[in-house]
Structure 1
Amino acid sequence: MKVRDPEGQTWRVTRRWVPWRRRLKGVDADAGPLDWGNGLGDDPISAVLAIILLIIALPFILLGLFVALEFLLLLLLVPFATLVRVAFGAHWTIEARRGFSIWWDAPSGSWGESGRRIQDVARAIVEGDLPPRTVAPKDA
């Protein structure tokens, strides 16, 4: 649920769908793809430069592949984990994010209880009663 506090700051109050906290930070919307210019030529010097660039870029390519595979695995597991959690009444954790940074989190019980708690926390934020910070900032 997305709400605004009296100062105009956007908050998101949601269930945490996986039992761990996400590790990725917010994506910079202004960042564009790499601009390689007009490409490399077909002479031997360009081939050497291309090989050097490939060696430099290889760790980033491997990291990107690792992140993509982890994301695909997460997409495959989340439906099953959600079904098991709902069916067996597992406890959910709800979290309030200020912008995209997690500010507060707390265990809140079953699916229905967590839904009511989300409504209560969102209503409190709109009224100006902000939750206390329970999650340390990323840069701390």
Structure 2
Amino acid sequence: MKVQDPTGQTWRVTRRWVPWRRRLKGVMANMPSGPGLGDDPVSAVIGLIFLVILLPFLVLALVAALELLLLLLVVPFALLARVVLGRHWTVEARRGFTIWYDEPAGDWQSSGLRIHSLADALRRGDIPTPNVTDLAD
């Protein structure tokens, strides 16, 4: 649920669908790119230099893609386990896209009620104290 507090800040109050938070964010947006290369030996050397420079970024992009693939593979089983086993959901409030506050909220129905009550509190300006230790600036 997307809400705005009295100062105009956008908040998103949602359930966390998997038990972990993604660690790699915005990898593909910061990828540098080199100039176009020709087909002579000098261009091959320059291309090799660019490849060596870009290799760490390519490895990081590959890790992010593998994490996303793992997430897509695990989500159906995680949802099924949550429904069948009655696992508890975590409700999180994000300021923009940065997680600001999270708390365990019980089953599906009680987590939905908590989402609405937290969203109403944010609309009124009752900002919860941040309890997430890895806040990004």
Q: TM-score scaled by structure 1?
A: 0.87
Change (3 A) 1:64 1:23: same
Q: CA deviation at 1:60?
A: 1.6
Q: CA deviation at 1:35?
A: 4.9
Q: For residues 114 and 76 of structure 2, what CA distance do their matches in structure 1 show?
A: 23
Which residue in 2 is equivalent to 1:55? 52
Structure 1: which amino acid aligns with 2:41?
P
What is the Cα-based RMSD across aligned positions, in Å?
A: 1.9
Which residue in 1 is equivalent to 2:7? 7
Q: Is 1:74 the equivalent of 2:71?
A: yes
| Counterpart among 110, 114, 117 of residue 117 in structure 1 | 114
Which residue in 2 is equivalent to 1:20? 20
Structure 2: which amino acid aligns with 1:76?
L
Q: TM-score scaled by structure 2?
A: 0.89
Q: CA deviation at 1:24?
A: 3.2
Q: Percent identity?
A: 61
Please give the per-residue CA displacement for 1:9-31, whole angstroms capped at 9, x wherever unaligned: 00000011111122134x49xx5
Which residue in 2 is equivalent to 1:91? 88
Q: For residues 22 and 64 of structure 1, what CA distance do their matches in structure 2 show?
A: 14
Off by >2 Å, runs of 4+ in structure 1: 31-37, 136-139
Structure 1 gap ranges (5+): none
Q: How many residues align?
A: 135
Structure 2: which amino acid aligns with 1:65?
L
Which residue in 2 is equivalent to 1:36? 34
Q: For residues 30 and 69 of structure 2, what CA distance do their matches in structure 1 show?
A: 23
Q: CA deviation at 1:72?
A: 0.7
After alignment, is 49-58 or 88-97 more displaced?
A: 49-58
Q: For residues 115 and 10 of structure 2, what CA distance do their matches in structure 1 show?
A: 15
Q: Which structure shows the bigger proportion of residues in helix conformation?
A: 2
